[in-house]
Amino acid sequence: MRNHFHLVVETPKANLVDGMKWCLGTYTSRFNRRHKLCGHLFSGRYKTLFVDGSGNGYLKTVCDYVHLNPVRAKLLSAGLKLSAFRWSSYPEYLKAGSGRLSWLRVDRLLGEHAIPKDSPAGRAEFEKRMEVRRAAEEGLKTVLSGWCLGSETFRKELLAQMSERRGLEHYGQEIRESAQEKANRIIAQELRKLRWGEEELNQRRKGDPAKLRMALRCAGKRR
C-alpha cells in the first residue's frame, strides 16, 4: 500500500505494543537512513483488530482481505496474477516450504480454506480460489470497520478482559462497549437482587435510593 500496511500476527505473549513499537521504529530508522531522510514515516498510530483464530473462518476472512488489498487499491492490473504483487506474503504461500520465509505459517490459513496439505496440489488449489475471490470480495467489508472479528462468545471474552485491564492497544470503541457490557451486567444483577423487572425500574423515580445505588455501581463509584 502507498501509505499503510496490513499485518496478521499471532503473539504467544501479550506484547503486541512492544512488538509494534520495535517494528515501526526499526523500519522508520532504516528507511530514513537509506533515503537520507529524517522524522516520522508513519502519520498515525496503528489500529488493532482482534481475530478469533479458532478455525471458524474469521482468520480466513481477514487474511483474504489482506491478500486482496492490492486489487482493491488498483495496484495490480487485470492481466496480472495476484502473486505478481511482490509486497505481500501471498506469493510465499505458493512456494514450497523450503523456499518460503521461515517465519510464515501457512497451515492455519490453508486449513480454513479446507486444503488438507501444503503440497503442490494444495498450493495450486489455494491460488485458484484466490483468483476467483478477486472478482467477488463479499464478506470482507466487515474488516474495514469495528475492532473485533469473531463469534459473540469471543467478543464477550475480550470485553470481560478489557474491563479488568485497559492497555494502550485498546481503542475508544471497544472500551466504550466494554463499559456498556459491564453496566448491563451490574443492572441485571441489581434487578435480580431487588426482584424487579425492567418495568418496575422504569416506573421508579430518578432519586430512588436503589436506582442511585445502581447508577453509582455502573459508574464505578462506591457509596
The per-residue pLDDT for range 61-98, each reduced to its tens digit, is: 999 999 999 888 888 887 889 999 999 999 999 999 99
16 vs 6, 38, 46, 121, 164, CA distance in Å? 14, 26, 11, 35, 18
* Measured distance CA(26)–CA(49) in Å, rounded: 22
Question: Above 80 in pLDDT, residue 175?
Answer: no
- Answering whether pTM is above 0.85, one says no
Cα radius of gyration rounded to whole Å, the chain? 23
Question: One-letter amino acid identity for 66?
Answer: V
Quick: pLDDT tens for 157-169: 877 776 665 554 5
pLDDT for residue 180 is more than 70: no
User: What is d(CA 159, CA 161) in angstroms, rounded to the nearest whole number?
Assistant: 5
Higher pLDDT residue, 65 or 43? 65
